[in-house]
Amino acid sequence: MSKGIKEIKDRGRVIAIAYSKSINPDGIQFFTPGSYPLQIGLHNYPRTGKRVPAHFHPHLKYNVKNTQEFLYVEKGVVDVIVYNLKWQKKAKLKLSAGDSVLFVDCGHEVIFHKGSRMMEVKQGPYPGDKKAKIFRDKK
């Protein structure tokens, strides 16, 4: 595992991956397996520029069985609690500006500290909370 990357596992299976802002690849590096619905990579060109040629992605049908979610902390501090699918706590992460986490197949809770700002990416189309989320606690 690369420095700055922390895998959270449940019974040997990766359920979440945390990425530190300290990750410093030379060029581009993808951190997720090609089989994941979300591909997480980092471009880093500190000494030279880089041009990615103009392109688009053709329309393809994907068979996605679970919703993965990616959080990127832009500002402040965010606490993230990672649970397995039986609601057993597996990790508590403190993420600060520049850090991120990928929820591969897990439950999670997010606590925003005052002044925090975070970007969230997940698969769509989104069917709404009733179909897309199972809450631990009744609302």
Three-state SS string over the chain comes to CCCCEEEEEECCEEEEEEECCCCCCCEEEECCCCCCCCCCEEEECCCCCCCCCCCCCCCCCCCCCCCCEEEEEEECEEEEEEECCCCCEEEEEEEECCCEEEECCCEEEEEECCCCEEEEEECCCCCCHHHHCCCCCCC
- Does residue 57 fall inside a structural domain? no
How many domains is the chain partitioned into structurally? 1
| Residue 55 placed within a domain | no
Tens-level pLDDT at each residue, the chain (139 residues):
578 999 999 999 999 999 999 999 989 999 999 999 999 999 999 888 899 999 999 999 988 888 999 999 999 999 999 999 999 999 999 999 999 999 999 999 999 999 999 999 998 888 888 888 888 887 5
Query: Is residue 72 domain-resident?
Result: yes
Look up the CATH number of the domain holding residue 31. Answer: 2.60.120
